[in-house]
Structure 1
Amino acid sequence: YISDRFGKAISGLKDFIVSADNHNINYNNIHFPNTELGEIGEKIIHNYQLLEESNKQINVEQEKLLRHFHYSDEGIAIFSANREKLYANTHFIQYLNIILDEPTFKVEKLLEQPDFKELNEFLQKNTPVNPNTTNIPVYQNKISKGGKHFAVKLLIFTDNSFEITLNNISDNEKNRLLKQEMTNNIAHELKTPVSSIRGYIETLLEQPNITPDKQHFFLERTYSQIVRLSDLIRDIALITKTEEASELFDKERVNVHNTLQEVIDDLHDPIIAHGINVRNEINPQTVIEGNKTLVYAIFRNLIENSINYAGDNISIGVNNYMEDNEFYYFSYYDTGQGIEENHLNRIFERFYRVCEGRSRQNGGSGLGLSIVKNAVLFHKGDISAKNRKDGGLEFLFSLKKTLF
């Protein structure tokens, strides 16, 4: 009787081990006698079930993590303590091959490359990891190669395995450099009118006996510099808003023909002073759903550009030469002197000048055509410039009929 009870417990454990090896456990068919050995068998089965559940949960979480790595915009690679690759997503391989001089699929090779020399030295210095440490240092750096910029990060784990990430920060770096350039340009542009205003006011204050005519002269000059300063601040605010807070612009129905006519009326005096003839040939029924302030800014800056740089006694023509289901297509041209071909691709850049100092001489902020481009982009359109065959400059742009 005792041998039989002992044998049943042993048989139950044997059946469990065989079925576990075959990954085909039927827990309902495993029975143990009501003995101390049977109780031990039950405990083993129970703990094995808990282990199975834990492994399933780990596999699910691992699958989630790998899917996250696979679809992440970051390049991620994980290495064992022996520096063997355990995993690398496609972004990591792609970014690595941009950095390396020769393409490779052997990700481990990166530790031998000059671009990763500092990373490798950091890894050697900080491994093996002290098991009692609570703070493992993290390596971070930036690599620039082939016009691209990558943020590099190394994480070392307590088992001496490690993770390397490559993050493409080219757009962020480009934006940083553009903002830095714009800040420098703004400071440069502000310096001239502020210095002039200060000089005129100091002259008036330091020379109380100055003649009324001279006083009037200095006040006129001061006023013109203040106007220039106000225009610059207005343009900076507008271009910043279109680039970084375009959602704040109201959207409404805008009659493009009438908006252009408002610009022509507002610029009547300088148009007449330069002997310019402006023809508004836009269909009076041309209506879009957009922002009137930005549509107004498109035409005002284009006309002011012609007034300042195209020369006197010219003609300006504006028409919508085509439309489809989504867009109106416009042509703005003047019959002035045009510009050299090598400048055409850059005239929409902020503060870009075809000739150094020409915006300052004519009172412009250097932002006019950049505002035009941003206003067109806000309306989901596109813009380009070209020299006309018969002389002058032409801008071709589109505006989406509705933004709603």
Structure 2
Amino acid sequence: MSWITPEYLSQSRDYAPTVAIIFVCVFTTLVVLVRCYARIFSTKRFGLDDVLAVSSNVLYIAFVFLCVILIKEGSGRHIEYIQYVLTPDQVNLTEINDFAAHIIYTTALFVCRMSGLSFYHHLCDRHQRLLTVIKCAAVFLICAYLPQLFLLIFHCLPVTGLWPYAWQAESADFTCITWGAVYSVNSGLSLVCDVILFAIPVTMIRLLQVSLSRKIKLSFVLLPGVAVIIISIVRLYLVIVGQWADDGSWPYGPMLAIESAEIGGTLIALSVPALKPLFGSIFAKFTGTFHGSVKQSGTFNSTSRRTDGLPSSGNGRSFGSRGNIYENYGDLPAGWRGDTLQHERKTTDSSTDTRVGSGVGERVGFKKMDSNEDLLEDRELSHQGSASDFRVQVQKEFKFESNAIPLRPL
């Protein structure tokens, strides 16, 4: 025991985890606040997913508060510091705070994941197979949360908030599962939940009828959850180290920072798509998509169209000379989903019949605009012939199929 010197006992790395925990919490809270602003003032829709996200953020703040207290109490110092420097009452207090913090942590993650499922449900509520997957995922998350919660509550019998070390007098009064066993099981379940949650947008992107390059771009918005999975793996590693290492308390501070990052990362990953109404033009550059002026009740593939599969002429006006109309084309690929398309029609004679298939020359300009009416992309097709021929021509130009996955606006 001669190696336990005052210098050794005074060693601390509390500062870095504390700063990291607070920084991630503040940044996450700002993202959630911006999300709420976007939903309330831009899309005029504050749904169940937003309510759950806000609830999760409140729990997250409570967890961060307890994390800072635990670090200040010395929970992240050397195990000898906890055993020989802290008083028995102080050790008991750290154990109770750890118990409360991880019940909040587990609940915050569960609520956050349910928020994500609610968002995915809204996004693809007309695709039955995806809805079935989302419902099954919800059942799994609930079934995973309950044993996580019960393992924490009933880690000792009789039930207590303490988690006594072998050298504590209280250890004789309780029969307990080891800290590492409980946290390893919970961390493993948490990792599986993260994989299931963020596998759903992978499936959604795979089903979209768009080019590979656009799928890759879209993944930058919908798939930041990959980082959360990596964080979850790191947490599992730190839990294992903390239980079976000789100095088990030394990794505790970094583990709290990783747990904070896991909640914050999940909230941010699930909030990024909701920011699109505020940063539409930026999103369009990364994803090749823009949600545009979609009706409140519309979907990404919603439309008012003619029975021949082409856009209706809207107001019924004829265009003997050059003119512009705005209308939705419902079967465009996800890159153009729900956007307002500008059609430029120009006749070659004095005929007032400008219907497709009438034999009148026609140029149709497909334009994608951002929220500032700046042009992001345009394409122009020239046509003379039947409506079915034009439909095939449009499908070839945009490389899509008419049964593309129906999605709602973000």
Normalized against structure 1, the TM-score is what?
Answer: 0.27
- Structure showing greater Rg: 1
Q: Greater relative contact order (Cα 8 A, min sep 6): structure 1 or 2?
A: 2
Larger helix share, 1 or 2: 2
Q: Which has the higher strand share?
A: 1
**TM-score (ref. length: structure 2):** 0.26
